[in-house]
Amino acid sequence: VQWGSAVRSLADFAGEHGLALTRFAYVLCGDRGRAEDLVQDTYLALYRRFGDDLPINAPVAYARRAIVHANASRSRRRSSTETPTAELPDVAVEGAFPDEQDAMWRALARLPERQRAVLVLRYYCDLTDHEIAPLLGATEGTVRSLAARAFVHLREHPELATNSVEDLR
Amino acid sequence: MKTDTELEALLRETFAGRAQTVERAPALAAPAKAPRRFRPWIPALAAAAAVIVVAASIAIAKNVDRSAPARPSPSPTTSRPPAPTTCPASLPASWEAAVKHATLVPNGANLQPLAVSGNGTVLAVRGANPDTEQFTVAVVTPDRHVSPVVLQLGMNITADGRSPAINDRWAVFGTRNIAWTNDAILWAIDLQHGLAARKILDLTEAGATGGKTLQDWLLLGDNVYYTASDTYPSTHYRLYRYDLRTGTRTELAAGPRLTMHSVYGSLSYRPRPTPTTWGAQVVLVPGDMPSNVPAAVTDGMHTVVTDGTDVAWSELTRTSTGRHVQSAYWWAPGTAAPVLALQQRVQPELRDQPAFEVSSVAGAFVFVNPYDATGWRVLDTRTHANAPWTADESNAAWFAWAAGGGRVAIEYSGAKFGPNTTYVPDIASLPELTCR
């Protein structure tokens, strides 16, 4: 799709990119219901900003930015209907993923949002730090710092603290 | 210990694997107008610009000449008198002590303040109980007497933060489905007759009358004014008045994207034929808006807030160099001219979009949400102090949502999944902020 001068309807955009955006939102926030909320909010943001048509150059990138920041905002303006829990509500189906991936998912759930966002943008969206920086409203140095701190936290997670190939040598 | 390469590989596998478990996207629901005090489209745009340029020209000045009324969109070229730079400040320990001394109700965790009336009564919501599916709204008087109103709505219901309001007689608020924002119900509670609750508009019902997509609403005396469209997608709105005493609904106007504004008992609206062009303002209820508060506050992209006495608002102007600058103003009756409370350059990518929101005003304090991760800021218009309002805990935050009757409703949202607590201190008890 050439977005340069194209005008797409919001419905078409949702049809083409809705699933990918929902997956992105899910790995970002770790909760399916919230991911759908974030995507719905993003449709709303697009509609309110651009109306029925989307005459913008990169609506997917725009939507990703909207999701990242809506996720941060939702965390700060927590719905009164949310039930406080100690863990993220999504629980992996037993055996659905390798143990290490389960462990990583649990470790990711404990990361501060910006650190997790950096990891998602780097390793799920394959964006460079240069591309990530404006998404987070940060400098590249801050992005690198957030990633480094995230790695420290991941290594400190008890389930990820061992089992390196290097350790086995 | 895992190497960076091993962690990176595991991250890629984990993200890819988890993402594949999502097999459907939410259907495109009819967009409804975003909450007045929490506008998701603005942070998104702010984000898109990679953050607001904070530095540029944060300034505070008193007695700014504002003889020319501001415009709803950036004025062509505006020259303004130079304004002194604001001074960075920190909130003193006495600030937090004053706030925490004024818990709304003892053990009132997870009470979310919505609005404060002119006599200091707070409308708050506890939300849905997942076991009983009851949705509880509370009316809390200044002497901390709590009157709950229980609605049987289901557990996927949340308070609609658009324009909750409370006066001496009525409380008006919205609820909506968490996922489907257009499944909204607009409620009124009669504070003088047993807290009887009624639906002004129920969009969850088939064949709802008075609109199918709720845009916004305002409480003014015994009337609720709201805008709605009949179809989705549509930018053709209808403006209705619902008389709370008689239950009569009257259509008053229709047009493109009608945007309502109210301050000091006045009510006006203006159409917006395109996203960037505005029609003439129409005054529905004259009220007694002071001349010092410009018609400016009619810009749908900006908020005007009041605690019943003081008023704060923001506007966008374009400088002679073509840059956009957003300014926040504070004004109190009896003072000569509005105070320029905050001036901030807008990142070019944001074009004419606001970079921050004036969220509430309480006496001389103006609370600003800068739409970034730095948290809210408190401005003291007496001393020009500009202080970040950050919480000690990671992921926790303070919010000042509304003020009235000399009180301000403040919410502390605890760290991830922690409880939130509401405080309602007297404005007079909050210490004056001083610069470092």
CB B200 within 8 A of CB B242: yes
- Least confident range from B63-72, B103-112, B157-166, B211-220: namely B63-72
- CA B257 to chain A, closest CA, distance in angstroms equals 10
pLDDT, residue B416, reads 45
**CB within 8 A of A74, min separation 6: which ones?**
A34, A37, A38
Positive or negative CA dihedral for B312, B357, B391, B50?
negative
With CB atoms and an 8 Å threshold, state whether A36 touches B25: yes
- Highest-pLDDT range among B123-137, B287-301, B338-352, B376-390: B376-390
Contact state of B2 with A104 under an 8 Å Cβ cutoff: no
Q: Which residue has the tokens 């469209």?
A: B229
pLDDT, one tens digit per residue, over B250-301 is: 999 999 888 887 777 778 888 878 765 678 878 888 877 666 555 554 444 5
Comparing C-alpha atoms, which of A114, A157, A156, A159 is closest to residue A137?
Answer: A114
ipTM: 0.84
For residue B379, give the 3-state DSSP assignment: strand
Whether residue B294 has a cis bond before it, omega within 30° of 0: no
Picking from B150, B115, B171, the residue whose alpha carbon sits closest to that of residue B424 is: B115
Biggest alpha carbon distance in chain B?
A: 72
Interface touch B46/A10, C-beta < 8 Å: no
A63-77, B104-118, B165-179, B214-228: which range is least confident on average? A63-77
Q: Are B180 and A43 in contact (CB under 8 A)?
A: no
Query: How far does the CA of residue B397 sit from the closest CA of chain A (Å)?
Result: 6
Q: Please compute, for residue B423, the number of CA atoms within 13 A of its CA located in the half-sphere on the CB side.
A: 20
3-state secondary structure B123-178: EEEEEECCCCCEEEEEEECCCCCEEEEEEECCCCEEEEEEEEEECCCEEEEEEEEC
Contact B26 A162 (CB under 8 A): no
Report the residue from A52, A124, A154 with minimal CB separation from B19: A124
Whether residue B51 has pLDDT greater than 90:
no
SS3 label, residue B104? coil
Question: Does residue A51 carry a pLDDT above 70?
Answer: no
Retrieve residue B169's tokens.
Answer: 């007689």
Which pTM was predicted? Answer: 0.59
Residue of B332 and B392 predicted with greater confidence: B332
Q: What mean pLDDT do residues A127-150 have?
A: 83
Which run of H or of E encompasses B14? helix B4-20
| Residue B87: per-residue pLDDT | 85
Whether A18 and B26 lie within 8 Å, measured CB to CB: yes
SS3 B319: coil
Q: In the numeric block, which tokens belong to residue A55?
A: 């005459």
> Does residue B157 contact residue B147 with C-beta atoms inside 8 Å?
no
Q: Which residue has the tokens 């210490």?
A: B431
Residue B144 vs residue A93, higher pLDDT: B144
CB A70 within 8 A of CB B373: no
User: Which region holds residue B110: left if phi is over 0, alpha if psi is between -120 and 50, else beta?
Assistant: left
- Average of pLDDT values for B206-214? 75
pLDDT at B373 over 70: no
Quote the pLDDT of residue A141. Answer: 82
Question: Residue B331 is inside which H or E element, if any?
Answer: strand B324-331
Written as six digits, the tokens of B363 are 């006496």
- Nearest alpha-carbon partner for A78 in B421, B303, B217: B421
Question: Contact, B382 vs B375, CB < 8 A?
Answer: no
CA-CA-CA-CA torsion sign (B39, B265, B166, B340) = positive
Is the model's pLDDT at A18 over the cut of 80?
Answer: yes
Residue B68 scores a pLDDT above 60: no
- Nearest-angstrom CA–CA distance, A126 and A137: 18
- Whether B43 and A69 lie within 8 Å, measured CB to CB: yes
3-state secondary structure of B325: strand
Q: What is the pLDDT of residue A89?
A: 37
Cβ neighbour number for residue A154 with a 10 Å cutoff: 23
**What is the DSSP annotation of B399-416?**
EEEEEETTEEEEEEE-ST
What one-letter code names the amino acid at A107? A
Residues B288-301: pLDDT tens digits? 766 655 555 444 45
CB atoms within 10 A of CB A52: 15
* pLDDT tens figures, B310-368: 888 887 777 777 777 788 888 887 777 778 888 877 766 555 566 777 888 999 999 98
What does the alpha-carbon distance between residue B226 and residue B144 come to, in Å, rounded to a whole number?
A: 31
- B35 to each of A11, A115, B135, B258, B301, how far by Cα in Å? 23, 28, 19, 16, 12
**DSSP secondary-structure letter at A110?**
T
Per-residue pLDDT at B387 exceeds 90? yes
Of A22-31, A45-54, B69-78, B133-142, least confident by mean pLDDT is B69-78
A38 Cβ partners below 8 Å, 6+ apart? A25, A28, A29, A67, A70, A71, A74
**Residues A62 and A56 sit within 8 Å (Cβ to Cβ):** yes
- Cβ-count burial B66-79 (b if 16+ within 10 Å, e if not): beeebbbbbeeebe
CA distance A47 to chain B (A): 7
Neighbouring-strand partners of residue B136: B127, B150
> By CA distance, what is A37's nearest residue in B?
B179
Specify burial of residue B171 (Cβ count, 10 A radius: 0-12, 13-18, 19+). buried
pLDDT of A121 > 70? The answer is: yes
If one compares A72 and B8, the residue with the highest pLDDT of the two is B8
Q: Which chain A residue is nearest to residue B373, measuring alpha carbons? A: A72
Range scoring the smallest mean pLDDT among B8-12, B36-40, B158-162, B344-348:
B36-40
Strands B385-388 and B87-88: parallel
Nearest CB among A10, A65, A77 relative to B38 is that of A77
pLDDT of residue B198: 93
**Structure tokens belonging to residue A21:** 């955006």
Residue B133 CA, chain-centre distance (Å), reads 27
- At A31, is the secondary structure helix, strand, or coil? coil
Task: Write down the pLDDT at residue A6.
Answer: 45
Average pLDDT rounded to a whole number, residues B182-192? 87
Q: Which residue of B has its CA nearest to A45?
A: B41
Query: CA B281 to CA B429: how far, in whole Å?
Result: 39
Across B104-125, average pLDDT: 82
- In chain B, residues with a C-beta closer than 8 Å to the C-beta of A23 are 19-20, 22
Angstrom distance (rounded) from CA A82 to CA B174: 17
Q: Which residues in chain B have their CB less than 8 angstroms from residue A14's CB? A: 25, 27-28
What is the per-residue pLDDT for B13? 92
Residue of B4, B8, B41, B175 for testing the chain A interface, max A β-carbons within 10 Å: B41
Is the pLDDT confidence value at B192 over 70?
yes
